Structure 1
Amino acid sequence: MEESASMQIQPATASINSEDQNIQKEADIPGGNEKKNDELVIEIREMFERPEIRSSAQCRIYKVPHYLRKLNEEAYTPQVISIGPLHHKNERLKAMEKHKERFFKGFRERSKIELEYLVNIIKEMEESIRGCYAETIDLDSDTFVKMVLVDASFIIELFFRHWSENNPLIKEPRAVAVMLDLVLLENQLPFFVIQQLYNLAYPSPSNDHGLLKLSFIYFREFNIQFINAHPNVKIEHFTDLLRTFLIPPPEKQPERGYGMINRLYTATQLHEVGVKFKVIASESGFDIKVKKGVLEIPRLVLNDRVEVVCRNIIALEQTRYIEEGYFTDYFIFMDLLIKTRKDVDLLCDKNILFNHLDNSYAAELMIKNLNKGILLINMRRDYVDVGEKLKIFYDQRPWRRRMALLKSEYFSTPSQATSTVVTLGVITVLTLIQTVCSIMQVKGSS
């Protein structure tokens, strides 16, 4: 029996040993498992050997973070024209390529630069240009160079024609859409690239024709501080230029601290306790001050174009200037101030808001949505001080708050006010009758 069991077990053991030997042999034979992994090894090796694009110190262009983009996709997406690589493959924008090519031809005729020379210049700059984009650009070298050359030349020619000629592209309704597309964060070329081509074409530009001056003229409606185009103005691209137009100049930027506005009462609440609102002409557009119970705020126009501009500048600050969010600060403050349609109506009555949207609710929603998901690391200290002063002003007037509460509960509508007055009248009459009856009872008993 034992011998029989042993004979039964041995073949199984032999079979296992045979499989182990075969596995070992397959591992030892060239072209076994190693051969199966060759393609993977080659792919990983190519990944290691792929040249790394150095980030540019001159300029950084980011895609809009998803948490902002999902709130209003159209506000960040070009509607008419693609500039730069991030929307270059958008088929919907291909119709404008012919216009860009015509403008490129006009630029060459105006500048008289050989095409080969222009191509070589962009080729030499290619690595630096690619390094300006936070995203990897999935375009081969020739396609990338052609795109940059055409887009940069188009912008220079567009600015020239805007300054000097009655061009159909400038005057037609599409011109506004083109201008808005040129300020979108994802629709940018580095400014130094356009400047390089401009300097080659016009090596001795006059003050009237300098590229920065032409840029200021083209986007002049956004230049609320009336900044002059001088060499001290440094910009990375056109979204950055609009931010420069709207925030305080570097030498006048308020200090920033890590304190935040913990609580800001709404415009209606502040008005109810006696805060007065005054519209001011601000040097920077965002100077908010409170003086002796008067809150001074610059005028803000609300429309669809303003929303596009604001969203893209805020997206720029959320990616490039996260610790210098002066533009974002302002809309955070306004969001705290505006919570209902009543707040919008009050600020419109004081000429602080100019609402060109459908209604007060649309204005309230726009302010609120501009700040959804915003990351705020610090805030300008003067805003924090204004918030603290307003809180103290509000807290020191409890009797006004009670009067405001009484008014909102019993006199908020004409019908409610009428009902309250009638009720008070009835109570007064009944009280008077009761008093007369009491007096008569006293006299009768005497």
Structure 2
Amino acid sequence: MTLLNDPDHVKIKTEKDSWNFGKASDQMLKNKERIDIEKNENYIELGERNQAKETNIDARLKPRKSLKAKLEELPPLPRSSNCYIYRVPQRLCQENEKAYAPQVVSIDPLHHGKQHLKSMEKEKQRYLKEFLERTGAKLEDLLNLITEKEQQLRSCYAEEIEFDREEFVEMILVDAMFIIEVLLRSQFRDLQNQEDHIFEKPFFIQDIWYEIWLLENQIPFFILQDIFNLETISELVKNWKPIIELTYEFFKSLEAVNGKLKKFENNNVEVKHFTDFIRTCHPPLVKSAPRPKKRKVVTAPSVIQLNQAGAKFKKSESNESFDITFTKGNLEIPQLKLHLETESLFRNLIAFEQHHYVDNYINNYVFIINHLCNTSKDVELLVQEKIIENWLPDKKCRFFRVQLAKRKKGFRA
């Protein structure tokens, strides 16, 4: 039996009530804090809503530019004949975007300032500084040259360049001098030094070599020539090779370039940029026959189909990529060497050609090769005949399955 007036019972009950009261007080405090937080959040949300509402009101009250005003403010388009540096269309780059965009160094305004390329800016500036110190050339002379050519340089790009004059001139100068130094140091090893972060790391210069033929990573070739012809520099470089020969030496490890310097001996050949230089090395010296007025849709047979029909395959001794002949059942094809850079190179050449040239030599060549090599067995047969030399690590010849020359609405022959 429990006594109500038992002191111990009262004490126990009092302690229990105190504990419950303390627990309830803590809970009330937490609830109050939660309510205060919710109130603050509501105030903040209400403030943001009011601010957004005021912004919308300001936007509505602010007079909008009329279509007429927008049309009047449009900058004049450069002449199409002056444009030759383009952004690759989405229909081409969606299959392999990295084949077109620089990953190490930017040499143009289209990718300048991107975060993953900023680390190279100091290296480019260092190359400019070392050129000035080594040659005694004046920075002011170079800046004045680029400034004088600013509008001509801007007109070479198919899209408007939004950098202001100072930014644009500085960027072109740093990039142009970096290219010139790379060409010089690759040709004259004594210009390299132990502190050279590019040439002292073989894979680094190889990465740069891959990237300065990308269509979206170009500066006009004429500005490199103008720098070489500058009065204060021409005397310094008279013992060096002309810029076109330095370019040839830099790229001659490419099969299509090696032995093709004579194509540039004619002053009528105007090199627009490095992508154009490599493309110029591909077409045959002899002009092709005029296009027929009527076109026929032709289904090209594969290597295996031709072989089953009795055709024989032979590696041509010609060093012209397009010198493909079929006579008396014999198909002769110049050797094609497949390296890691082959796909990227052809993709960029095709993108440039489709933008700029009526004669689609590269497109036609890749179209023919793609149709001949329809399956892995087609490729294997050409490898056996030494027409294809495959240096790709996976040996799958992905190059032949990308269908580079196809357009959305068919191939333009």
For the aligned pair, the TM-score class normalised by the smaller chain equals 0.7 to 0.9
Q: In 2, Cα distance between the equivalents of 1:245 and 1:165?
A: 26
Match of 1:371 in 2: 405
Aligned AA (2:405) = N
Match of 2:65 in 1: 41
Task: Please state whether the residue corresponding to 1:304 is helix, strand or coil.
Answer: coil
Match of 1:182 among 202, 212, 217: 212
Aligned AA (2:220) = P
Q: In 2, Cα distance between the equivalents of 1:42 and 1:291?
A: 66
Q: Is the Cα contact below 8 Å between 1:58 and 1:236 reproduced in 2? A: no
Q: Is the Cα contact below 8 Å between 1:191 and 1:238 reproduced in 2? A: yes
Instruction: Mark the runs of 5 or more structure 1 residues left unpaired by the alignment.
Output: 1-34, 380-446
Q: In 1, Cα distance between the equivalents of 2:169 and 2:119?
A: 20
Q: In 2, Cα distance between the equivalents of 1:145 and 1:43?
A: 33
Matched, 1:216 2:248: yes
Which deviates further from its counterpart, 150-159 or 168-177?
A: 168-177
Aligned AA (1:348) = V
1:49 Cα deviation after fit: 3.5
Task: Please state whether the residue corresponding to 1:297 is helix, strand or coil.
Answer: strand
Task: Please state whether the residue corresponding to 1:202 is helix, strand or coil.
Answer: helix
Task: Please state whether the residue corresponding to 2:63 is helix, strand or coil.
Answer: helix
Match of 2:347 among 296, 311, 327: 311
Task: Please state whether the residue corresponding to 2:199 is helix, strand or coil.
Answer: helix
Matched, 1:227 2:261: yes
Matched, 1:165 2:189: yes
Cα distance change on mapping 1:374 and 1:90 into 2, 3 Å: same
Q: In 1, Cα distance between the equivalents of 2:72 and 2:61?
A: 17
Cα distance change on mapping 1:365 and 1:312 into 2, 3 Å: closer
1:338 Cα deviation after fit: 1.5
Q: Is the Cα contact below 8 Å between 2:319 and 2:334 reproduced in 1? A: no
Match of 2:233 in 1: 202
Cα distance change on mapping 1:108 and 1:369 into 2, 3 Å: same
Matched, 1:289 2:313: no
Cα distance change on mapping 1:46 and 1:159 into 2, 3 Å: same
Q: Is the Cα contact below 8 Å between 2:323 and 2:333 reproduced in 1? A: yes
Match of 1:18 in 2: none
Post-superposition Cα deviations, 1:384-430, rounded to whole Å, max 9, x if no partner, equal xxxxxxxxxxxxxxxxxxxxxxxxxxxxxxxxxxxxxxxxxxxxxxx
Match of 2:391 among 356, 361, 365: 356
Aligned AA (1:330) = Y
Cα distance change on mapping 1:344 and 1:277 into 2, 3 Å: same
Cα distance change on mapping 1:359 and 1:154 into 2, 3 Å: closer
Which deviates further from its counterpart, 161-170 or 150-159?
A: 161-170
1:114 Cα deviation after fit: 2.5
Post-superposition Cα deviations, 1:315-343, rounded to whole Å, max 9, x if no partner, equal 1111111x211011111011111111111
Cα distance change on mapping 1:121 and 1:188 into 2, 3 Å: same
Aligned AA (1:342) = K
Cα distance change on mapping 1:43 and 1:124 into 2, 3 Å: farther
Cα distance change on mapping 1:149 and 1:260 into 2, 3 Å: farther
Q: Is the Cα contact below 8 Å between 1:59 and 1:190 reproduced in 2? A: no
Q: Is the Cα contact below 8 Å between 1:225 and 1:285 reproduced in 2? A: no
Cα distance change on mapping 1:295 and 1:55 into 2, 3 Å: same
Q: In 2, Cα distance between the equivalents of 1:377 and 1:269?
A: 22
Alignment of 1:364-443 (within 5 A): 366-373=400-407, 379=413
Q: Is the Cα contact below 8 Å between 1:62 and 1:186 reproduced in 2? A: yes
1:209 Cα deviation after fit: 1.6
CA RMSD of superposed structures (Å)? 2.5
Matched, 1:144 2:176: no
Calculate the TM-score normalised by the size of structure 2: 0.76
Task: Please state whether the residue corresponding to 1:373 is helix, strand or coil.
Answer: coil
Calculate the TM-score normalised by the size of structure 1: 0.71
Match of 1:82 among 79, 102, 106: 106
Aligned residues: 342
Matched, 1:244 2:280: yes
Cα distance change on mapping 1:374 and 1:189 into 2, 3 Å: farther
Q: In 2, Cα distance between the equivalents of 1:58 and 1:231?
A: 21
Cα distance change on mapping 1:102 and 1:58 into 2, 3 Å: same
Match of 1:8 in 2: none
Alignment of 1:43-58 (within 5 A): 45=69, 48-49=72-73, 51-55=75-79, 57-58=81-82
Post-superposition Cα deviations, 1:120-166, rounded to whole Å, max 9, x if no partner, equal 22122111111111111121221111100100111111111111125
Cα distance change on mapping 1:257 and 1:225 into 2, 3 Å: farther
Cα distance change on mapping 1:60 and 1:376 into 2, 3 Å: farther
Higher helix share: 1
Match of 2:373 in 1: 338
Alignment of 1:96-135 (within 5 A): 96-135=120-159
Q: In 1, Cα distance between the equivalents of 2:207 and 2:90?
A: 23
1:303 Cα deviation after fit: 2.5
Which deviates further from its counterpart, 274-283 or 110-119?
A: 110-119
Q: Is the Cα contact below 8 Å between 2:215 and 2:352 reproduced in 1? A: yes
Cα distance change on mapping 1:264 and 1:49 into 2, 3 Å: closer
Q: Is the Cα contact below 8 Å between 2:370 and 2:400 reproduced in 1? A: no
Match of 1:414 in 2: none
Of all paired residues, the percent bearing the same amino acid is 36
Q: Is the Cα contact below 8 Å between 1:61 and 1:188 reproduced in 2? A: yes
